[in-house]
Amino acid sequence: MLLNRAVAKSVMVVEDEPEIRLVLRTFLEDEGYAVLEADTGERALSLALDEIPDVVLVDLRLPGIHGLDVVRSMRATSTVPIIVVTAQADSHDVVAGLEAGADDYVTKPFEPKELGARIRAQLRRIASETGEQRQDVVACGPIVIRPGTAEAFKDGEPLALSRTEFRVLQELIQEGGRVLSRDDLLRRVWGYGNAGDGRVVDNLIYRLRAKIEVDAAKPEHLVTVRGFGYRLKP
């Protein structure tokens, strides 16, 4: 299946057993999701910052950081839906997972159809909470985006943006020239509930400027408002 990675919902699979990861990847890609894989909790936490999954599936029995600690760390900074995967026999794990901040659970061995339904339920919940907007075209000067297809253009030329770059540009463009602080962007794009590390935003803006500005060192569109944040100028 040809997947538009920028527009497909993404599921991060945190699982140390390669065979199970493969089964999950195959199933989830068939369902139309972009799949991110992490074989340890450490890797999951760093990948979640770079790629911003829409749903996270966490096996609780991991080498290194325990799955419960992965759930707690993600929940401390993000509202991303988290589903824990537990051994069937272990109801203690289910309770601990939900108390750590998971939204739902599946038990091994799981039925793929059931897992699919659980993921869709989480995505529906998030979509209704955030009231997803579906404007056709939004423009700011020479920069135009199509939120429905996650395409972006400058002077009519397509821009090759990552999923996160697109989301930041979308927030700035939909703000209509008003300033967004780093915390605004962390909350809206990365889903941070509390204040997070603003450097994640600064690095992203740096990469985005390299793609949309003629001279990234002297930005004309994606400008810094000192002491406040960033805005997009026509």
What is the contact surface with Ca ion in residues (CB under 5 A)? 16, 59, 61
- Nearest Cα residue to 9 out of 115, 101, 127, 169: 127
- In the DSSP assignment, the letter for residue 191 is -
Specify whether the CB–CB gap between 35 and 28 falls below 8 A: yes
Residue 119, number of CB atoms within 10 A of its CB: 22
Q: Which helix (H) or strand (E) holds 60?
A: none
Q: For residues 97 and 219, which CB has a smaller minimum distance to Ca ion in the complex?
A: 97
Q: For residues 54 and 59, which CB has a smaller minimum distance to Ca ion in the complex?
A: 59
Q: For residues 61 and 154, which CB has a smaller minimum distance to Ca ion in the complex?
A: 61
Shortest CB 36 distance to Ca ion, Å: 17
Q: Which helix (H) or strand (E) holds 198?
A: helix 198-212
Q: For residues 88 and 194, which CB has a smaller minimum distance to Ca ion in the complex?
A: 88
- In the DSSP assignment, the letter for residue 219 is -
Specify whether the CB–CB gap between 151 and 145 falls below 8 A: yes
Shortest CB 84 distance to Ca ion, Å: 12
Shortest CB 148 distance to Ca ion, Å: 38
Shortest CB 95 distance to Ca ion, Å: 19
